[in-house]
A = this chain, B = another copy of it.
Amino acid sequence: MKGVHFLISTLAILASATFLVSASDPSPLQDFCVALNDNKSAGGYFGANAVFVNGKFCKDPKLVNANDFFFSGLQNPRNTQNPLGSNVTTVNVDQIAGLNTLGISLTRIDFAPNGLNPPHTHPRASEFLVVLEGTLYVGFVTSNGDGNRLFTKVLNKGDVFVFPIGLIHFQFNVGHVNAVAFAGLSSQNPGVITIANAVFGSKPPINPDVLAKAFQVDDNVVDYLQKQFWYDNN
Protein backbone atom coordinates (compact mmCIF):
# COMPACT_ATOMS: atom_id res chain seq x y z
CA MET A 1 0.00 0.00 0.00
CA LYS A 2 2.74 2.31 0.95
CA GLY A 3 4.59 1.54 -2.26
CA VAL A 4 1.55 2.42 -4.27
CA HIS A 5 1.29 5.69 -2.41
CA PHE A 6 4.84 6.57 -3.34
CA LEU A 7 4.21 5.65 -6.93
CA ILE A 8 1.20 7.87 -7.19
CA SER A 9 3.06 10.75 -5.65
CA THR A 10 5.95 10.28 -7.97
CA LEU A 11 3.94 10.34 -11.11
CA ALA A 12 1.76 13.16 -9.94
CA ILE A 13 4.90 15.19 -9.77
CA LEU A 14 6.26 13.85 -13.01
CA ALA A 15 3.07 14.88 -14.76
CA SER A 16 3.38 18.38 -13.35
CA ALA A 17 7.05 18.87 -14.08
CA THR A 18 8.38 22.17 -15.36
CA PHE A 19 8.01 21.57 -19.08
CA LEU A 20 9.21 24.99 -20.01
CA VAL A 21 10.17 24.25 -23.55
CA SER A 22 7.39 24.71 -26.04
CA ALA A 23 6.81 23.08 -29.39
CA SER A 24 5.71 23.85 -32.94
CA ASP A 25 5.51 20.59 -34.84
CA PRO A 26 3.25 20.96 -37.89
CA SER A 27 2.47 17.23 -37.92
CA PRO A 28 0.21 16.14 -35.10
CA LEU A 29 0.26 12.36 -34.78
CA GLN A 30 -3.21 11.96 -33.29
CA ASP A 31 -6.37 14.10 -33.10
CA PHE A 32 -4.64 16.38 -30.59
CA CYS A 33 -1.80 16.37 -28.08
CA VAL A 34 -2.76 18.94 -25.46
CA ALA A 35 0.39 20.21 -23.76
CA LEU A 36 1.15 19.50 -20.13
CA ASN A 37 1.86 23.09 -19.07
CA ASP A 38 1.26 22.65 -15.36
CA ASN A 39 4.39 23.44 -13.41
CA LYS A 40 2.92 24.81 -10.25
CA SER A 41 3.93 21.91 -8.01
CA ALA A 42 7.20 20.98 -9.60
CA GLY A 43 9.10 23.61 -7.66
CA GLY A 44 12.14 22.11 -6.04
CA TYR A 45 11.54 18.46 -6.71
CA PHE A 46 13.43 17.87 -9.90
CA GLY A 47 16.31 20.25 -9.69
CA ALA A 48 18.77 19.47 -12.42
CA ASN A 49 16.89 16.38 -13.51
CA ALA A 50 13.71 17.53 -15.21
CA VAL A 51 12.95 15.69 -18.42
CA PHE A 52 11.81 17.37 -21.60
CA VAL A 53 11.10 16.41 -25.17
CA ASN A 54 11.39 18.17 -28.51
CA GLY A 55 8.08 19.97 -28.04
CA LYS A 56 5.90 19.15 -25.06
CA PHE A 57 4.48 16.14 -23.30
CA CYS A 58 0.72 15.69 -23.69
CA LYS A 59 -2.14 15.30 -21.25
CA ASP A 60 -3.99 12.02 -21.04
CA PRO A 61 -6.49 12.48 -23.90
CA LYS A 62 -9.31 11.14 -21.75
CA LEU A 63 -8.89 14.18 -19.49
CA VAL A 64 -8.89 16.74 -22.26
CA ASN A 65 -11.87 19.07 -22.43
CA ALA A 66 -12.99 22.17 -24.31
CA ASN A 67 -11.16 24.52 -21.95
CA ASP A 68 -7.87 23.13 -23.24
CA PHE A 69 -8.64 24.79 -26.59
CA PHE A 70 -9.94 28.07 -25.15
CA PHE A 71 -8.47 31.45 -24.20
CA SER A 72 -10.23 34.59 -23.07
CA GLY A 73 -9.31 38.24 -22.83
CA LEU A 74 -8.06 39.53 -26.18
CA GLN A 75 -10.81 42.17 -26.30
CA ASN A 76 -9.03 44.53 -23.92
CA PRO A 77 -6.46 47.18 -24.80
CA ARG A 78 -3.11 46.62 -23.12
CA ASN A 79 -0.85 49.00 -21.33
CA THR A 80 1.61 50.54 -23.76
CA GLN A 81 3.36 52.84 -21.31
CA ASN A 82 6.83 51.45 -21.79
CA PRO A 83 9.95 52.53 -23.65
CA LEU A 84 8.72 51.01 -26.90
CA GLY A 85 5.11 52.16 -26.66
CA SER A 86 3.88 48.73 -27.67
CA ASN A 87 2.66 45.55 -26.03
CA VAL A 88 2.50 42.07 -27.51
CA THR A 89 -0.09 39.74 -25.95
CA THR A 90 1.01 36.26 -26.88
CA VAL A 91 -1.40 33.33 -27.20
CA ASN A 92 0.76 30.33 -27.97
CA VAL A 93 1.02 26.82 -26.55
CA ASP A 94 1.81 28.24 -23.12
CA GLN A 95 -1.58 30.00 -23.05
CA ILE A 96 -3.65 27.42 -24.99
CA ALA A 97 -2.31 23.95 -24.30
CA GLY A 98 -4.43 22.57 -27.13
CA LEU A 99 -2.24 24.40 -29.67
CA ASN A 100 0.51 21.85 -29.03
CA THR A 101 1.60 20.14 -32.29
CA LEU A 102 -0.92 22.18 -34.33
CA GLY A 103 1.55 24.61 -35.87
CA ILE A 104 -0.27 27.87 -35.27
CA SER A 105 -0.62 30.64 -32.66
CA LEU A 106 -1.64 34.29 -32.43
CA THR A 107 -0.88 37.61 -30.76
CA ARG A 108 -2.64 40.89 -30.11
CA ILE A 109 -0.34 43.90 -30.49
CA ASP A 110 -1.22 47.28 -29.01
CA PHE A 111 0.60 50.42 -30.10
CA ALA A 112 0.56 53.88 -28.55
CA PRO A 113 1.15 56.75 -30.99
CA ASN A 114 4.78 56.32 -32.10
CA GLY A 115 4.70 52.90 -30.53
CA LEU A 116 7.13 50.44 -32.06
CA ASN A 117 7.35 46.68 -32.29
CA PRO A 118 11.09 46.80 -32.90
CA PRO A 119 13.09 44.81 -35.47
CA HIS A 120 12.88 41.13 -34.57
CA THR A 121 12.74 37.66 -36.09
CA HIS A 122 10.68 34.57 -35.41
CA PRO A 123 13.06 31.64 -35.90
CA ARG A 124 10.20 29.15 -36.26
CA ALA A 125 7.29 30.99 -37.92
CA SER A 126 5.97 33.12 -40.72
CA GLU A 127 3.39 35.74 -39.73
CA PHE A 128 0.37 37.56 -41.04
CA LEU A 129 -0.70 40.85 -39.47
CA VAL A 130 -4.16 42.33 -39.78
CA VAL A 131 -4.81 45.87 -38.57
CA LEU A 132 -7.94 46.36 -36.44
CA GLU A 133 -7.42 50.04 -35.61
CA GLY A 134 -4.92 52.70 -36.56
CA THR A 135 -2.13 53.13 -39.08
CA LEU A 136 1.08 51.11 -39.09
CA TYR A 137 4.27 51.41 -41.11
CA VAL A 138 5.53 47.83 -41.43
CA GLY A 139 8.37 46.14 -43.22
CA PHE A 140 10.84 43.28 -43.50
CA VAL A 141 14.39 42.94 -44.86
CA THR A 142 15.56 40.05 -47.02
CA SER A 143 18.77 38.07 -46.53
CA ASN A 144 22.24 39.04 -47.79
CA GLY A 145 21.91 36.91 -50.90
CA ASP A 146 18.82 38.85 -51.89
CA GLY A 147 20.59 42.17 -51.24
CA ASN A 148 19.02 43.05 -47.88
CA ARG A 149 16.08 44.57 -49.69
CA LEU A 150 13.48 46.38 -47.54
CA PHE A 151 9.80 45.79 -48.30
CA THR A 152 7.47 48.24 -46.55
CA LYS A 153 3.85 49.26 -46.54
CA VAL A 154 1.63 51.63 -44.59
CA LEU A 155 -1.34 49.67 -43.31
CA ASN A 156 -4.77 50.92 -42.32
CA LYS A 157 -7.78 49.24 -40.74
CA GLY A 158 -8.55 45.96 -42.49
CA ASP A 159 -5.18 45.70 -44.23
CA VAL A 160 -3.07 42.55 -44.07
CA PHE A 161 0.68 42.10 -44.46
CA VAL A 162 2.89 39.02 -44.44
CA PHE A 163 6.34 38.51 -42.86
CA PRO A 164 8.24 35.42 -44.13
CA ILE A 165 9.87 33.09 -41.61
CA GLY A 166 13.24 34.11 -40.21
CA LEU A 167 13.39 37.59 -41.77
CA ILE A 168 13.89 40.74 -39.68
CA HIS A 169 10.66 42.77 -39.50
CA PHE A 170 9.00 45.57 -37.51
CA GLN A 171 5.73 47.52 -37.07
CA PHE A 172 5.56 51.23 -36.19
CA ASN A 173 2.48 53.29 -35.30
CA VAL A 174 2.67 56.28 -37.62
CA GLY A 175 -0.87 57.42 -36.81
CA HIS A 176 -1.99 59.87 -34.17
CA VAL A 177 -4.05 57.44 -32.15
CA ASN A 178 -3.60 54.01 -30.66
CA ALA A 179 -3.32 51.14 -33.07
CA VAL A 180 -4.26 47.52 -32.60
CA ALA A 181 -3.37 44.52 -34.75
CA PHE A 182 -3.84 40.78 -34.59
CA ALA A 183 -1.16 38.45 -35.88
CA GLY A 184 -1.21 34.77 -36.75
CA LEU A 185 2.02 32.75 -36.66
CA SER A 186 2.78 29.43 -38.29
CA SER A 187 3.94 27.71 -35.10
CA GLN A 188 2.56 27.08 -31.63
CA ASN A 189 5.93 28.26 -30.32
CA PRO A 190 7.31 30.74 -32.88
CA GLY A 191 10.00 32.27 -30.69
CA VAL A 192 10.97 35.96 -30.77
CA ILE A 193 14.45 37.43 -31.13
CA THR A 194 14.40 41.18 -30.67
CA ILE A 195 17.56 42.26 -32.46
CA ALA A 196 18.63 45.02 -30.08
CA ASN A 197 17.95 42.91 -27.01
CA ALA A 198 19.87 39.91 -28.31
CA VAL A 199 22.82 41.92 -29.62
CA PHE A 200 23.23 44.58 -26.94
CA GLY A 201 21.30 43.08 -24.04
CA SER A 202 22.52 39.48 -23.97
CA LYS A 203 23.35 37.93 -20.62
CA PRO A 204 26.30 38.00 -20.26
CA PRO A 205 27.23 40.75 -22.75
CA ILE A 206 28.95 39.93 -26.02
CA ASN A 207 32.64 40.88 -26.15
CA PRO A 208 32.54 44.64 -26.98
CA ASP A 209 35.26 44.26 -29.62
CA VAL A 210 32.93 42.02 -31.59
CA LEU A 211 30.14 44.57 -31.52
CA ALA A 212 32.36 47.57 -32.17
CA LYS A 213 33.73 45.92 -35.29
CA ALA A 214 30.40 44.51 -36.42
CA PHE A 215 28.56 47.83 -36.08
CA GLN A 216 31.46 50.16 -37.04
CA VAL A 217 31.23 52.18 -33.85
CA ASP A 218 33.62 52.98 -31.02
CA ASP A 219 33.92 50.81 -27.97
CA ASN A 220 32.32 53.53 -25.87
CA VAL A 221 29.22 53.46 -28.05
CA VAL A 222 29.04 49.73 -27.51
CA ASP A 223 29.59 50.27 -23.82
CA TYR A 224 26.75 52.79 -23.74
CA LEU A 225 24.44 50.44 -25.59
CA GLN A 226 25.27 47.44 -23.42
CA LYS A 227 24.41 49.47 -20.35
CA GLN A 228 20.92 50.35 -21.55
CA PHE A 229 17.82 48.58 -20.35
CA TRP A 230 16.40 46.62 -23.25
CA TYR A 231 12.68 46.36 -22.72
CA ASP A 232 11.04 43.18 -23.99
CA ASN A 233 7.52 44.02 -25.19
CA ASN A 234 6.53 40.36 -25.55
- Contact digits for A27-56, partner B, Cβ 8 Å, 1 yes 0 no: 111111100100000000111111111110
With contacts A76-B158, A148-B201, A206-B150 taken as known, whether A52 is within 8 angstroms of B33 at the C-beta atoms is yes
* Separation of A101 and B52 alpha carbons in the complex (Å): 13
Q: Which residues of A in the span 98-122 have a Cβ within 8 Å of any Cβ on B? A: 98-106, 114, 116, 118-119, 121
Specify which chain B residues have a CB less than 8 angstroms from the CB of A13 in the assembled complex: 7, 11
15 A-B residue contacts at CB 8 Å?
Answer: A7-B9, A20-B61, A23-B30, A24-B27, A54-B55, A75-B156, A83-B216, A102-B164, A105-B128, A114-B209, A123-B166, A124-B166, A143-B193, A144-B234, A148-B201
Given contact pairs A31-B123, A143-B193, A170-B210, a sample of 5 additional A-B residue pairs in the complex whose CB atoms are under 8 Å apart? A7-B9, A33-B53, A36-B51, A69-B153, A141-B202
Size category of the binding interface on chain A: 35 or more
Taking each of A75, A119, A164, A196, which has the highest tally of chain B beta carbons within 10 Å of its own beta carbon? A164
Specify which chain B residues have a CB less than 8 angstroms from the CB of A72 in the assembled complex: 156, 158-160
A29 x B36 contact (CB < 8 A): no
B51 x A143 contact (CB < 8 A): no
Q: CB within 8 A of A21: which of B9, B61, B167, B182?
A: B61
